[in-house]
Amino acid sequence: MTDPRSKLIVALDVSTYEEARVIVETLGDAVEIYKVGFQQFVAYGPFIVRYLQAQGKKVFLDLKFHDIPNTVASGVTSAVGLSVAPHDAGTGKFAPLLMLTVHTQGGVEMMKAAAEAAKKRAAELNVPRPLIVGVTVLTSDAATDETPKLVLARARMAKESGLDGVVASVQEAAMLRKECGKDFVIVTPGIRMADGAAGDQKRVDTPGGAIKNGSSFLVVGRPIVKAQDPRQAALDILADMRRALTS
């Protein structure tokens, strides 16, 4: 059976470096992958990524690049540099960057430039290429009749442009899995336990629901990082995923 930890990404959406460290230490070996978004990156830059890598954690850099092709390609080129281990990395625990995001609304040229830049820079540095996924429609947007069509059109565009996959909600995951194939990476935020508060998220589903609908990675933020007992919350989510993986 797939270890559910290989599919769970915790969004490190906390305001200080110290809080981030407490979360990572509290979650311990329950969590292997962290998402660094702009709350942490704007404040701490590569240091937060380096901290996670030093702990042996994989990093999903979610900066949602959306600009002219040349600028996005340059940003991606810089991001791939984070896959090079610092000289003092030691121990062999270091992990290259797992994945990063661009916006599909940036268009085909922008996405192609991102994919090509990642490939080129990874080859130059002799590091594994991070996965690049395109944000389709934010999970905080409520579903309308148009949402699945829009998500699918953007996912097809992402695939044609050479991206590895997309970010979408669980509600579109089964359709994307069917239409875009078994290797297409589907990242689903908007994950909530059945009794959990949705917050600003509109297109939500449970961890088990995400697995059953073919999600490759589940992104979970507040239900873990704002929980009274974050480790227990992560273990409950992993248990829900495990049930779906074995049923």
For residues 101 and 87, give the distance between their C-alpha atoms in angstroms, rounded to a whole number: 27
7 vs 121, beta carbon nearer ligand C5P: 7
Single out the residue of 4, 7, 8, 11 in contact with ligand C5P (rule: CB under 6 A). 11
The residue at minimum Cβ distance from ligand C5P is 221
**Does the active-site annotation cover 226?**
no
Buried b (16+ CB within 10 A) or exposed e, 65-82: bbeebeebbebbbebbeb
The one segment of 25-33, 81-89, 121-129, 220-228 that binds ligand C5P by CB under 6 A: 220-228
Residue 128 is classified by DSSP as P
Least CB distance to ligand C5P at residue 56 (A): 22
3-class DSSP state of 45: coil
Q: Please report where in the chains the tokens 């992993």 appear, as a residue.
A: 238
Is 13 a residue that touches ligand C5P (CB under 6 A)? yes
73 vs 151, beta carbon nearer ligand C5P: 151
3-class DSSP state of 30: helix
3-class DSSP state of 58: strand
Question: Which uninterrupted H or E stretch holds 134?
Answer: strand 131-135
Residues in the chain: 247
The one segment of 25-33, 51-59, 134-142, 230-238 that binds ligand C5P by CB under 6 A: 134-142
Which residue from 55, 56, 102 is spatially nearest to 79, judged by alpha carbons?
102
Single out the residue of 14, 24, 127, 138 in contact with ligand C5P (rule: CB under 6 A). 138
Q: Which residue among 64, 112, 120, 226 is the active-site one?
A: 64
Q: Which residues bind ligand C5P (CB under 6 A)?
A: 11, 13, 37, 135, 138-139, 167, 189-190, 199, 201, 219-223
**Residues with a known catalytic role:** 64
